[in-house]
Amino acid sequence: FGQLLFGPLSDTFGRKPVIVAGLSLFLVGCVVSVFAESFSMLLLGRVLQGVGASGPRTVTMSMVRDLYSGRSMAQIMSISMSIFILVPMLAPALGQAIMLLMGWRYIFGTFILFGVLGLLWLLLRQPETLADSNRRPLRPAAIANGFVIVCRSRAALGYSLAIGTMFGAFIGFLSSIQQIFHDVFGVGKWFPYLFGLLAVFLGVASFLNSRIVMRFGMQKIVRLAMACSPVVSLMYLLICLLVNDPGLIAFMVWGALCFFGVGLCVGNINALAMEPLGEIAGLGAAVVGFFTSSVAVLVGIPLGRAYDGTQIPLIAGFIVLGLMGLILVHWAGHEKPSNNEK
């Protein structure tokens, strides 16, 4: 819900001040967590961190849309969105190392360090991307109007919901992967490193997409990449049903292929969702983010809770959500695209 606050504010006051406000709130939450003496105080700190982090998360998409459109936007968005996904995947290994060496409070100290570095970089190096002439007055009805605009745009709505199904599968994966490594394969202690290995494939795919999107176009890559997850997952499910224990290597190959598809897709599909919303980039990014997060949580949490001691529920969830995302992508793509979108 923080996205719906920071997005409209950035359309009124500019991108840079709103990111500064979000980062500052995030840092306050980190300080509260570092000195927390009770669980309720720790929880308050985490809430402040979450609300504050939603500012940079939303407004960075708006900044990209301010400066780029079409395939050029997809190039930049590939790098930006890959960082948003890669960091949570690499965080378990980093967090485990910090806890073993220094204790849990230093995790939030690390957050403070990176937050301060990001804030300084923003203040010293990042110019404002929203011209004064393009700023919009802040009105209570603006958020409702943003929802109407997004819902009326087949591309914005369809691609937003498709992103939600993709991130929902990712949430389900995050929720159950540690248990799968521990219970199914007996390699629980290697979880952070195996998980980080999967992140490499996502990063490579994101980099590859930034190189090929200008040649092949966003829609072609998105449709191919979105088909990867359900097809590969269906094949792996059949292997699991035919072979009682396909082993860790087979599971890692499945995960690597799925994450490679996500890496190819994530920058393009966000760019496609934002393409029709250039005049309301801040509010548009907020509404797109709200739809994406809502769908992801609604489908991702049940998928994670469906874990039954086997990998079957997770694989089946990837098939279902992958097919839903593929259908939404084809539906959204039927809206007549601009030359930049093709």
The answer to whether residue 129 sits within a structural domain is: no
**Sequence-ordered list of residues with C-beta below 8 angstroms from that of 206, at least 6 positions apart, any chain:** 78, 79, 81, 82, 263, 264, 266, 267
Domain assignment of residue 179, yes or no? yes
Secondary structure letter of residue 128 according to DSSP: P
Classify residue 100: in a domain, yes or no: yes
In a domain, 250, yes or no: yes
- Dihedral sign for Cα 14, 20, 23, 29, please: negative
What is the CA angle 15-17-22, rounded to 5? 95
The C-alpha atoms of residue 313 and residue 291 are separated, in whole angstroms, by 25
Question: pTM for this structure?
Answer: 0.86
User: What number of CA atoms fall less than 13 Å from residue 271's CA on the CB side?
Assistant: 35
Residue 143 lies in a domain: no
Q: Which domain holds residue 275?
A: 2-124+153-332
- Tokens 């966000």 correspond to 270
What's the domain count of the chain?
1
Q: Is residue 11 assigned to a domain?
A: yes
Which residue is it, tokens 């089946």?
316
Q: Decide: residue 86, CB within 10 A, 0-12 exposed, 13-18 middle, 19+ buried.
A: middle
Residue 339 lies in a domain: no
Query: At 324, which CATH number?
Result: 1.20.1250.20
What is the residue-wise DSSP string for 25-48? HHHHHHHHHHT--SHHHHHHHHHH
End-to-end CA distance of the chain: 32
Domain presence at residue 74: yes
Tens digits of pLDDT across the chain (342 residues) = 778 889 889 988 999 999 999 999 999 999 999 999 999 999 999 999 999 999 998 898 889 888 988 888 888 888 877 777 777 777 777 887 888 888 889 999 999 999 999 999 999 999 999 888 888 888 877 778 888 988 889 999 999 999 999 999 999 998 899 899 999 898 888 888 888 888 889 888 988 998 888 888 889 999 999 999 999 999 999 999 998 788 899 999 999 999 999 989 988 998 999 888 888 888 888 899 899 999 999 999 999 999 988 999 999 999 999 999 999 999 988 765 554 555
Encoded amino acid at 128, one letter: E
CA separation for the pair 100, 111 (Å, rounded): 17
Are 45 and 36 in contact by the 8 Å Cβ rule? The answer is: yes
**Distance in angstroms (rounded) separating the CA atoms of residues 313 and 129:** 44
